[in-house]
Structure 1
Amino acid sequence: MRKYFGRGWLRKVYSAVCEYALRWLAVLPAKKNKVVFDNFGGRGFGCDPKYIALELLRSEEALDLVWLARDLTEEFPPGIRPVKYGGARALYELATAGVWVDNFKSAMRVPKKEEQYYIQTWHSSLGLKKNERDAAQLDRSYVKRARKDAAATDLMYSNNGFREEKYRKRFWYNGEVLRCGHPRNAVLMRPPEAVRNMVRGAYGLEADTRILLYAPTFRSRADREVYRFCAGPCLKACEKRFGGKYVCFERLHPNVADLVSEAEEGDRVREVTDYPDMQELMAAADLLVTDYSGSMFEFMLTGKPVFLLAKDLNEYVEEERELYFSFDELPFPAARSEEELACRILSFDAGKYREECRDFMERTDMREDGRGAEVIAHIILEKIK
C-alpha cells in the first residue's frame, strides 16, 4: 500500500492536478479592460500599485480593477474589487487579465499570454542594499522565480539613472526601462493635508504633535532585539532642536511584521507596522530614522531630515547584505547608538543637509516630478485601447 499511496504518489497527483489547471487557465481569453494588482504578495492596499490604481479610477474608463489581498476585510475604494490572494479565484483573475501590475516577484503566477501586458513596479526607487544579481547569496528557488518574472515583464521604470542601470544589467531583465517618477512619491512631493490629518487621527494625535518615524529594514534573523529603538533621548533632542511635542511611530518591515510587540515608553511610542501605506506615514512624519532601508531616498524628496541609526553596521554588511553606497557617501547624518543619534539631531544643519541632498541626487541622476502615476496609468489605458 505504501508503494501506491506514499508521499511520491501524492506529489504525482498534485503535479497532475496543477498541470491540468494551468492548461485550462491557458486557454481562457484575456479581458483587455481587466487590470490585476498585487502588492507584496497580497499585503494590502499600498506602494506603487495603489497609486496607479487610484489614477486609473480617476480616468473614469470602464475598467475592471482587481486587487489580490490576503485580508478581504480591508477597505478598498469603490471601483476596486478585492480577491483572495493565493486561491483558485486569484489564478483565474490573473489568467484572464489584460494587464498585470506587481511590485514583487510573486511565486503565485500563471503562464503569461502573448496579449497580456505585465508592469513590474518593484518596491524600491533607489535602494541602499545590494539585491538581485548583486547580492552575495541568493536562494536558487528565488533566482529561478526572478528569471521567470523578468522574462515575462514588459515594462519597468525608474526615477534615477543608478537604478535604471541596475534594472538593465542586474535584474535578468531585457525589456524597456522607462524614466519617470514613481507613482507612490506624489504624496511625498505634494503631501495633502488630508493625508496628514488622516494619519494623525488614526493614532489619536493632536494637530500640533510632530512625528519621528522609525522604520528599520529587515534582517534574516528572527530577533526582536535588533529592531529595538530607545526613542526617549531622540524625542527630547527633536523637541529641543526643532520645537514642539514629538512622538515616535515605529514601523517594522513587512517581512518581519510578526515580530511586532507592544510599544514601550508609554504614549510617546506608537506601533504602526499594521498601517497599510508607508508613503502616507512618511507624508505625515516630520523626521525619519532608519538604518539601511531605501525609504531614506524617498523621504529625502520631502526635504525633511533623515537620520541613520546603524547599531549593527559591520554585522549587517558581513552577514546580511553589502551596500551600494558607504555611509560617507550618503547625505544623511549617521549614528551607531541612540545617544549619538540624539547628538546628531541637536547639531543638525538644515542648510548643509539640503545642499548634500541636492549633490547626491545629481550624482545618482535622480529626477522625481511626482507624476509617475499619470504616466503609468496612461500607458495602461493605451494598451487597453
Structure 2
Amino acid sequence: MRRILAQLYMIILRGVAIIFRPFNLQTKVVMLVTFQDNPEQILKKMADLRVSPETIVFYDPRVDETQLSYNFVRTIPLTFSSIFKRLYHMSRAKVVIVDNYFPELAALKFKEEACCIQIWHANGALKKFAWEDKATPLRAKSEQKRFKAVYARFHKVVVGSDMMGEIFKRSFLLESEDRLLKIGVPSTDYFFEQEQLKQIRASYREKYQKKTILYAPTFRDSELNQAKILLDLEKMRELLSDEYVLLLKLHPSIQANATIPEDDFIKLFPKNQSMQEALAGADVLVTDYSSSPFEFALLSRPIYFFTPDIEQYDRERGLVTGFSELIPGGEPYLTTESLARGILNDEADLDEIARFSATWNKYSEGRSAANLVDFIQKKL
C-alpha cells in the first residue's frame, strides 16, 4: 500500500510540475536544506559579497532558521504542506541548490538555462549511501527508477576532493567528470577562521578546566526504537577522568531517550549548539563512521575511531571499500579499554591525520563558499 501511495504521489507531482513548466525563469536562487552548515556559509558569503538575488530557502524545521535569515532571503519550512510551493519556485529558478535526496526532483524537468547544484551535507564518506547503499538493490524497481531520476537532476555536485568525487560518481551514477564542481565544501570555511577557533577552544578550556574528548558516533537506524551507547562510560571514567572531560554529542532522538546522568566527567553537548562548534572546541574526537573526522582533521588534533559493531554495520549498511586503510591510525579500536588506553598514550598519529585531511579536503582551502557564490553569480 505504501508503495502504491508513493507512486500516486509522484504522479500528482509530475502533473503539477507540467503546469509550472511553461513559466519563464526568474533570476532567483532556491535552496532545499536539511543541514545547516553548508547553506549558512553560502548565504553568509552571498551577503558579504553583496550577491543578493531573490533567494528562497526551504528549510528542515530542525535547522536554526535564524542563521539563514538575510534581507534578500525568504525562508519557508520544508514540510509536506509546502510541496507545491517548492515545485513552483524550483521550476522558475535559474539556480536550485539541494543538500540531500529530495524525491520531488524526479517530477521536475529543468529548463536548459537552469542549474541544479547538489552540495550534499558531508565532505567525506566512510559509509555507503544513495545507489551504493546495501538497501538499494532490495528496493522496488519503481523506487530505483525514482532514485535515478533524482540523481539525473544534479547538473553539478560540489566536491572537496577527488576521493569524494569518485564516491559521488558511483553513488549518484554520474557518468561525466564535468558534473563534479571541484571548488571545496562551503562548510569547511568555518575551520579556517583562526581567531574564532581560538576563542571557542579557549572557552572550552575555561569552562571544563580539563582537556575535552568529543564522542560523536553516527546515527544508527535501530536506535530509533532503542537508545544505546556502545561506549562504556564507566570504563572511560576510570581511565581518563583525571585528565579529560567526556562530551557526548548524540543524535537528538538518542539523547532524549537515553538515561545519562551528567557529572564532573560526563557532559551532554547541548542540542542547540552546532556540531561545528563542538569540533572547534574539542581537544580529541572519538567517532566511528560519521563525517565529523573529515572536518576535524583540518584542526590537526587527535582522532580515534571506535567501531565495536563494525562487522554488523558493514553487513547491514555498508562501509566504503578499504575502511581500515582509509582512516588515520589503521585498525579502529574495538573495545572501550583499548580506546581509552590509546588516548592516554597519545596513539593518534598527527602526520597520518594531516595526510587524511590533505586527501579529503584537497579543494577546501577556506574560500569554498566564495567559489560557489562566484559560480552561482555566473549562472544568474
- TM-score of the superposed pair, with normalisation by structure 2: 0.81
Q: Is the 8 A contact 1:182 1:370 kept in 2?
A: no
Letter in 2 for 1:188: F
Equivalence for 2:260: 264
Q: 1:370 to 1:62 in 2, by over 3 A?
A: closer
Letter in 1 for 2:250: R
Q: Is the 8 A contact 1:66 1:83 kept in 2?
A: yes
SS at match of 1:327: helix
Equivalence for 1:21: 16
Equivalence for 2:285: 288
Q: Is the 8 A contact 1:251 1:273 kept in 2?
A: no
RMSD: 3.5
Measured after TM superposition, the shift of residue 232 of structure 1 is 4.8
Q: 1:89 to 1:132 in 2, by over 3 A?
A: closer
Query: d(CA) in 1 for partners of 2:64 and 2:364?
Result: 34
1:131 aligns with 2:129: yes
Q: 1:62 to 1:280 in 2, by over 3 A?
A: same
Q: 1:142 to 1:347 in 2, by over 3 A?
A: farther
Equivalence for 1:36: 30
Query: d(CA) in 1 for partners of 2:220 and 2:131?
Result: 19
What are the superposed Cα offsets for residues 249-286 of structure 1, whole Å, 9 maximum, x if unpaired? Answer: 3222xxxx434325613244444474374223322322
| Count of aligned positions | 360
Query: d(CA) in 1 for partners of 2:33 and 2:93?
Result: 16
Q: 1:146 to 1:161 in 2, by over 3 A?
A: same
Query: d(CA) in 1 for partners of 2:276 and 2:78?
Result: 23
Equivalence for 1:309: 306
Which of 87, 90, 100 aligns to 1:104? It is 100
SS at match of 2:70: coil
Q: 1:12 to 1:190 in 2, by over 3 A?
A: closer
1:186 aligns with 2:197: no
SS at match of 2:221: coil
1:219 aligns with 2:220: yes
Q: 1:18 to 1:263 in 2, by over 3 A?
A: same
Measured after TM superposition, the shift of residue 198 of structure 1 is 11
Q: Is the 8 A contact 1:185 1:279 kept in 2?
A: no
Q: 1:380 to 1:73 in 2, by over 3 A?
A: closer
Letter in 2 for 1:108: E
1:122 aligns with 2:124: no
Q: Is the 8 A contact 2:297 2:356 kept in 1?
A: no
Query: d(CA) in 2 for partners of 1:199 and 1:81?
Result: 36
Q: Is the 8 A contact 2:211 2:245 kept in 1?
A: yes
Q: 1:260 to 1:164 in 2, by over 3 A?
A: same
Q: 1:281 to 1:134 in 2, by over 3 A?
A: same
Q: Is the 8 A contact 1:69 1:82 kept in 2?
A: yes
What are the superposed Cα offsets for residues 333-369 of structure 1, whole Å, 9 maximum, x if unpaired? Answer: 732222221111101146xx12222344566684531
Q: Is the 8 A contact 2:216 2:287 kept in 1?
A: yes
Which of 14, 37, 53 aligns to 1:63? It is 53
What are the superposed Cα offsets for residues 105-133 of structure 1, whole Å, 9 maximum, x if unpaired? Answer: 11233512322211111222221113334
Letter in 1 for 2:90: L
SS at match of 1:75: helix
Within-5 A mapping of 1:194-343: 197=200, 206=207, 208=209, 210-221=211-222, 222-234=224-236, 237=239, 240=242, 243=243, 246-252=245-251, 257-261=252-256, 264-267=260-263, 268-272=265-269, 274-275=271-272, 277-332=274-329, 334-343=332-341
Query: d(CA) in 2 for partners of 1:11 and 1:354?
Result: 48
Measured after TM superposition, the shift of residue 238 of structure 1 is 5.1
Query: d(CA) in 1 for partners of 2:39 and 2:312?
Result: 34
Query: d(CA) in 1 for partners of 2:52 and 2:180?
Result: 28
Q: 1:276 to 1:378 in 2, by over 3 A?
A: farther
Equivalence for 1:162: 163
Q: 1:127 to 1:14 in 2, by over 3 A?
A: closer
Query: d(CA) in 2 for partners of 1:11 and 1:309?
Result: 38
What are the superposed Cα offsets for residues 55-107 of structure 1, whole Å, 9 maximum, x if unpaired? Answer: 11212133222221243984233333211213133333322222111111112
**Structure 1 stretch displaced more, 286-295 or 221-230:** 221-230
Query: d(CA) in 1 for partners of 2:32 and 2:111?
Result: 18
- TM-score of the superposed pair, with normalisation by structure 1: 0.80
Q: 1:64 to 1:195 in 2, by over 3 A?
A: farther
Measured after TM superposition, the shift of residue 184 of structure 1 is 0.5
**Percent of aligned pairs sharing the same letter:** 21
Query: d(CA) in 2 for partners of 1:376 and 1:157?
Result: 8
Q: 1:357 to 1:70 in 2, by over 3 A?
A: closer
Letter in 2 for 1:342: A
Equivalence for 1:372: 368
Letter in 2 for 1:218: F
Letter in 1 for 2:191: L
Q: Is the 8 A contact 2:96 2:115 kept in 1?
A: yes
Measured after TM superposition, the shift of residue 185 of structure 1 is 0.7
SS at match of 1:185: helix
Gaps of 5+ in 2: none
Query: d(CA) in 2 for partners of 1:338 and 1:11?
Result: 43
